[in-house]
């Protein structure tokens, strides 16, 4: 594997572990695509650092299990803000 790819994989993985962020947030932070981040942390990382891979996997599984809750809350906030604007 190329050296710059390994460095990118480790940076993304460390960022996810430190912040607990989603793949989408990590990709926005590093200005790379979501598919690249996902491939880095779900496939490439296990060959570079297995312990870090396990930590990232736990966080991503947690994010996956909470995804529907976040989406529901975002929709609720969207419509509440629209309702408040109409009242003013």
- Greater pLDDT, 49 or 85: 49
Would the pLDDT of 79 be above 70?
Answer: yes
Q: Which pLDDT score, from 0 to 100, does residue 68 have?
A: 84
Residues found in the chain: 88
Residues contacting residue 37 through CB under 8 Å, at least 6 positions apart: 12, 23, 26, 27, 30
Contact 48, 54 (CB under 8 A): no
pLDDT band, residue 88 (cuts 50/70/90): low
Whole-angstrom distance, CA of residue 78 vs CA of residue 72:
10
Q: Which pLDDT score, from 0 to 100, does residue 74 have?
A: 84
Whole-angstrom distance, CA of residue 86 vs CA of residue 88:
6
- Model confidence over 11-62: pLDDT tens digits? 999 999 999 999 999 999 999 999 999 999 999 999 999 999 999 999 999 9
């Amino acid at each position: 594997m190329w050296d710059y790819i390994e460095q990118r994989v480790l940076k993304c993985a460390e960022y996810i572990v430190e912040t607990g962020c989603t793949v989408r947030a990590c990709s926005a932070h590093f200005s790379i695509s979501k598919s690249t981040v996902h491939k880095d942390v779900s496939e490439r990382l296990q060959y570079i650092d297995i312990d870090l891979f396990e930590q990232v996997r736990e966080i991503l599984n947690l994010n996956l299990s909470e995804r529907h809750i976040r989406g529901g809350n975002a929709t609720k906030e969207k419509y509440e803000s629209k309702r408040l604007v109409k009242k003013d």
